[in-house]
Amino acid sequence: MAGSPAKFEVLLTEGAEQDLEAIHDHIAEFDCVANANRVLDGLLDVVESLSRFPERGSYPKELVGLGIKEYRQTFFKPYRVIYRVTDSQVIVYLIADGRRDMHSVLARRLLGA
């Protein structure tokens, strides 16, 4: 279709896949499976939407403070999806509850600290 944005291939790292599983398991255990499935579906919708408009995401403030602007983020409140855009791919590195200590989570997952 003319005028439609280019499609990027969206890839999840093993860590991001594990994040999704852990989020689902946590909600299923402490709330209910129906809500766990709803949150998982919402997160997957956000991830899939990156194939069309990956540049819309903002830069994570924790990384900008370190001078790093290669990662972006989008939200499915309260969850943050942290990703990087390459030539034709979007690589999702982290999906985490934004209420966590994101400095530590980002440092461990993205910066290897």
pLDDT tens per residue across span 7-61? 999 999 999 999 999 999 999 999 999 999 999 999 999 999 999 999 999 999 9
Which pLDDT belongs to residue 97? 95
Question: Facing residues of 90 across strands?
Answer: 10, 85
State mean pLDDT over 76-104.
Answer: 95
Instruction: Report which of 4, 102, 10, 5 is spatially closest to residue 59, judged by C-alpha positions.
Output: 102
- Biggest alpha carbon distance in the chain? 47
Question: Facing residues of 10 across strands?
Answer: 90
Opening angle at CA 70, ends 44 and 72, nearest 5: 30
